[in-house]
Structure 1
Amino acid sequence: MKKIAVVILNWNGVDLLRQFLPSVIQFSKEATIYVIDNASTDDSITVLKKEFPTVIVITNTGNFGFAKGYNEGLKSITEDYLALVNSDVEVTENWLQPIINLFDKESKTAMIQPKILDYKNKTHFEYAGAAGGFIDKFGYPYCRGRIFDCIEKDQGQYDTDIPIFWASGACLFIRNEVYKTLNGFDEDFFAHQEEIDLCWRAYNNNYITKYCTKSVVYHVGGATLDNSNPKKTYLNFRNSLFMLTKNLPKRKLIIILFLRMVLDGFAAIHFLSIGKISHAWSVLKAHLNFYKNFTKNYKKRNLTNREDYYTISSIIIRFFIKKQQVYSKLF
């Protein structure tokens, strides 16, 4: 049996499969390739069976979203290492071997992210992950190579393999044993930020997540849910509050949650000021759902949540007030 499984989650993405699966098959000789299908209603299954017969198809009984979709599909996959890859990712030659080498060499490394560049602008990092993710004290995510919407050109400035706080779900490598120990993604998230929550839970359990610069992929981004979609706003705001409730150290939980909700209020006002009423409404709905599910998420907390989860107190102050808009200027 091969050591690594490349696993792609699909829902009505037949065009993406046709476009990006060929590179995965061409450059993944070391792996068994799986597609988990979330009950697609297009021709995905037919195309997979006819055009990509070497790919193993796992069919879910419904559209379970990203989190449950992977959780269900991965139950039957037994390879030691998992590469969870978005359907809009183009991989490159030798993208797997550096990851395998790192896992084999470093037994305490549980998750790894490759360098993620922009498929549409291949000289630049891509929004979802770039050269590895971090969060500030208030749980706002940022990356080496991307802070908010400021995306850097890849000039080799982050070509170092370092520990990171979170790895992007666009292309996430994880030990199968660790995935199962952590009970996979939180299915209440449905989609968005579930990978940060998974990495934070791993961090609270003293697992290490690393960035591997020798593995390179290109990500389209927004192929399944565009940034202009109010549903994406809703999921991002709601899931961020879910994540904080679950993972913050106890003595910081109430004050940080309160301040985050205040900041969310300013975000809603901003949406209103630029005419994005549906997005402002999404922020309100996110908060209402957060209140409804607070007790449920609080019960998921780890008794030993770590206090050293951040290196920057406020990325908002650094970015908007101090104008430190690239990662290298933060330190």
Structure 2
Amino acid sequence: MDHLAIVILNYNGYSFLERFLPSVLAHAEGFPVYVADNASTDQSVSLLRDRFPAVRLLQLSRNHGYAGGYNAALRQIPAQYYVLLNSDVEVTPGWIRPVLALMEADSRIAACQPKIRAYDHRTHFEYAGAAGGYIDWLGYAFCRGRLFDTLEEDRGQYDDDRPVFWATGACLFVRAGVFHEAGGFDASFFAHMEEIDWCWRVQRLGYQIWTCGRSVVYHVGGGTLPKTNPQKTYLNYRNSLLMLYKNLPPERLFGTLLLRLVLDGISSAVFLRAGQWRDIGAILRAHFAFYGRLGALRPVRNQLLRQAGAVTHLPVYTRSIVWDYFVNGCKTFCQLAWQNKEPQQQNQ
């Protein structure tokens, strides 16, 4: 069994593999590098065989998406720790050791991420993860270093190591035993927000999620689905509702979903004003897909409620990030209500 395995999930990512695998191999610090190919139709597999023989190739039978693809791949990889790494990430010298040392020092840490900077704007944080993620009480995700589309410059303001609510799947260090104990990712998500759902579940089992400010990588972002793609809109809205339904406590479920229905309607009006009709359709499809699955989701939710341990208070932002950003003008994480304090705990 390897101590740590670096695992890249690939789907038609020939250009990213060609560009970024050399840096991964150069800075792997002796740990094995796997590429799990999600039945690519480009020349990714030929590239790996011809030019990167040191990479351990796993070929999956079909495109399982991010969630199902990693589930299938990690079942085949014996290791104590996994690094789930997007194919469009450039790593840096020494990126592994600080995160690994942090996790080895505390067995309660189930997952951890480095700082994620933007590959094309290298002084600033990247959208997908930045310096560690949180959600507000309505389930809207945001990060230290990124609120909605506002990306902060990295001036060292988030160089600490600390617990967060979620860590990004773009570069996710995971304790293998906990990953499998929690049942892996929810494969029905296919892609987007599955890591937030997983982080929520493992915290309720008594583990913690951290961010490590002493490690940094650079992420292109949107390599498989561009940010403006309606399919990404659909997955984000649908998966957010799935996550809330699965994980919210009974006393908060109905009210939260009702408010999300209202706010998602408002966001549709924003898309309408911008003429983005396909995104409006994606939001409608997301809601109908969610409502259509409620019957199948109910036993899943009940099982999770039975499995949850004694930990019910998690680092959730108790205000509305939507209100604080768009109405109160809070454009950076440090301007939020918990400035200079640890995030408040809320029953989740």
TM-score scaled by structure 1?
0.98
Cα separation, 2, equivalents of 1:30 and 1:298: 45
Residue in structure 2 matched with residue 62 of structure 1 by the alignment: 62
**Deviation (angstroms), 1:30:** 3.3
Cα separation, 1, equivalents of 2:123 and 2:273: 34
Write the letter of the residue equivalent to 1:137: W
Write the letter of the residue equivalent to 2:31: A
**Alignment pair present for 1:283 and 2:283:** yes
Residue in structure 2 matched with residue 220 of structure 1 by the alignment: 220
Cα separation, 2, equivalents of 1:77 and 1:45: 19
> What's the secondary structure of 2:75's corresponding residue?
helix
Q: Is the 8 A contact 1:4 1:30 kept in 2?
A: no
Q: Is the 8 A contact 1:135 1:312 kept in 2?
A: no
5 Å matches for 1:131-280?
131-280=131-280
Cα separation, 1, equivalents of 2:134 and 2:215: 19
> What's the secondary structure of 1:162's corresponding residue?
strand
Write the letter of the residue equivalent to 1:323: G
The Cα offsets for residues 3-27 of structure 1, whole Å up to 9 and x where unpaired, read as: 1100000011111100000000000
Cα separation, 1, equivalents of 2:281 and 2:312: 34
Q: Is the 8 A contact 2:203 2:314 kept in 1?
A: no
Residue in structure 2 matched with residue 321 of structure 1 by the alignment: 327
Cα separation, 2, equivalents of 1:106 and 1:306: 20
Cα separation, 2, equivalents of 1:295 and 1:145: 38
Residue in structure 2 matched with residue 73 of structure 1 by the alignment: 73
Q: Is the 8 A contact 2:238 2:290 kept in 1?
A: yes
Cα separation, 1, equivalents of 2:203 and 2:116: 22
Structure 1 unaligned residues grouped into runs of 5+: none
Cα separation, 1, equivalents of 2:287 and 2:2: 45
Residue in structure 1 matched with residue 40 of structure 2 by the alignment: 40
Write the letter of the residue equivalent to 1:217: V
**Deviation (angstroms), 1:310:** 1.1
Cα separation, 1, equivalents of 2:298 and 2:222: 31
Q: Is the 8 A contact 2:165 2:314 kept in 1?
A: no
State the identity %.
48
Cα separation, 1, equivalents of 2:297 and 2:55: 37
**Deviation (angstroms), 1:29:** 2.1
The Cα offsets for residues 208-263 of structure 1, whole Å up to 9 and x where unpaired, read as: 01111111100000111001111000000000000000011110001001100111
Q: Is the 8 A contact 2:2 2:78 kept in 1?
A: no
> What's the secondary structure of 2:116's corresponding residue?
strand
> What's the secondary structure of 1:63's corresponding residue?
coil
Cα separation, 1, equivalents of 2:332 and 2:29: 37
Cα separation, 2, equivalents of 1:104 and 1:231: 38
Cα separation, 2, equivalents of 1:155 and 1:274: 33
Write the letter of the residue equivalent to 2:41: T
**Deviation (angstroms), 1:325:** 1.0
> What's the secondary structure of 2:154's corresponding residue?
coil
Q: Is the 8 A contact 1:30 1:96 kept in 2?
A: no
Q: Is the 8 A contact 1:71 1:185 kept in 2?
A: yes
Cα separation, 1, equivalents of 2:2 and 2:38: 25
Cα separation, 2, equivalents of 1:266 and 1:329: 24
**Deviation (angstroms), 1:309:** 4.7
What RMSD, in angstroms, separates the aligned Cα atoms of the two structures? Answer: 1.1
The Cα offsets for residues 17-75 of structure 1, whole Å up to 9 and x where unpaired, read as: 00000000000023110000001111111110110001000010001110101111111
TM-score scaled by structure 2?
0.93
> What's the secondary structure of 1:203's corresponding residue?
helix
The Cα offsets for residues 185-225 of structure 1, whole Å up to 9 and x where unpaired, read as: 10110001111101011111121011111111000001110
Residue in structure 2 matched with residue 311 of structure 1 by the alignment: 317
Cα separation, 2, equivalents of 1:278 and 1:123: 33
Q: Is the 8 A contact 1:4 1:31 kept in 2?
A: yes
Q: Is the 8 A contact 2:152 2:332 kept in 1?
A: yes
Q: Is the 8 A contact 1:23 1:90 kept in 2?
A: yes
> What's the secondary structure of 1:123's corresponding residue?
coil
> What's the secondary structure of 2:61's corresponding residue?
coil
Q: Is the 8 A contact 2:164 2:315 kept in 1?
A: no
The Cα offsets for residues 153-192 of structure 1, whole Å up to 9 and x where unpaired, read as: 0000011100000000101111110110011110110001
Cα separation, 1, equivalents of 2:87 and 2:207: 27
**Deviation (angstroms), 1:307:** 4.9
Cα separation, 1, equivalents of 2:315 and 2:292: 27
